[in-house]
Chain A
């Protein structure tokens, strides 16, 4: 009975995965083919939302949260603001870049081939679970005392990385201000 139920659950999860991946595939093809940039930006938001669902299925809720708020939310708005400035239609290109297609195809095939050598999905003795992860899992409640282990890794064990990430955001903001902030058409609204 329990075995049957487990099998049923696995079937449902696989079903979810297949539906999500199929939707992601359709969205990606649409993003590449559509020339209307507003539609492309909306589809990119949809793509991020689908990816966020995939992260939830994989139990990575922190990543899903980031993907949904940044990928589907704020970057969609910022891209729309950029599209308003640059124009709504992508210029049609006559060239058919065969070389690029070949390179992409070869890289994709190599990556697919490499997945055969990947360790089995979610197996407990995978290399990634045997390096520093056991220490985080066993010692962080004592050392850090924060229930969400993702937070203790991000903000404490990997504090340097997060400082670097914050600096990247800082640089992006200063860069946009330096490039676009100074020159305004009307002098009266200069801040």
Chain B
């Protein structure tokens, strides 16, 4: 844990807003710049900041390694699963138009789910890589 009080206080102040901004980028990717990839990185950076200031052990307690591995796989599985769901509903693989009567509506659902999958995998991978690197002592 960092000995500097300013760092600890500022980190505590910033972390909720970074998480919120990550969620905003995730949900707002249809309308503005951003999407699952950037959102995942921003979301992960809040946890990495926590780990930098309060120590990797504490971060490991917040984000335990085992569920992290599950989340890494879950994101990709969600993306691929959306493709199979489209197949099951009579479209081509990843053809989101099959999800609803109107193509635009189906695409909206598909893009939302797919971007969420990207965000979950990216943020879990980033946190995992950081914890793995920083948790190793020389």
Contact = CB atoms under 8 A, between A and B. Distances in A.
A46 to B, nearest CB: 17
A45 to B, nearest CB: 13
B133 A81 contact: yes
A144 B105 CA distance: 8
Contacts of A65: 25, 33-34, 38
A170 interface: yes
B3 interface: no
B32 A180 contact: no
A141 to B, nearest CB: 8
Given A163-B83, A166-B75, A146 B57 contact: no
Interface stretch (A12-20, A109-117, A120-128, A153-161): A153-161
A74 B105 contact: no
A25 to B, nearest CB: 27
Contacts of A148: 29-33
Nearest to B77: A170
Interface string A72-98: 011001100110110000000000000
Interface residues on B, range: 35 or more
Interface in A129-172: 142-148, 150-152, 154-156, 159-160, 162-163, 165-167, 169-170, 172
Contacts of B126: 74, 78
Contacts of B64: 191
A74 B45 contact: yes
Contact of A74 (B48, B111, B121, B132): B48
Contacts of B136: 85, 180, 184-185
A74 B125 contact: no
B60 A191 contact: yes
Interface string A36-66: 0000000000000000000000000110111
A191 B130 contact: no
A170 B72 CA distance: 6
Contacts of B41: 69-70, 73-74
10 contacts: A65-B38, A69-B42, A81-B130, A143-B107, A145-B103, A151-B35, A151-B111, A159-B96, A166-B117, A191-B60
Given A166-B75, A172-B125, A176-B129, 20 more contacts: A66-B37, A77-B48, A77-B52, A78-B130, A144-B103, A146-B30, A147-B30, A148-B29, A152-B111, A159-B96, A159-B114, A163-B79, A163-B80, A163-B114, A169-B125, A172-B129, A173-B128, A174-B72, A184-B135, A191-B66
Q: Which 8 A-B pairs have the closest CB atoms?
A: A145-B104, A173-B125, A81-B133, A191-B65, A159-B94, A61-B33, A155-B111, A146-B30
Interface of A: 61-62, 64-66, 69-70, 73-74, 77-78, 81-82, 84-85, 142-148, 150-152, 154-156, 159-160, 162-163, 165-167, 169-170, 172-174, 176-177, 180-181, 184-185, 189, 191
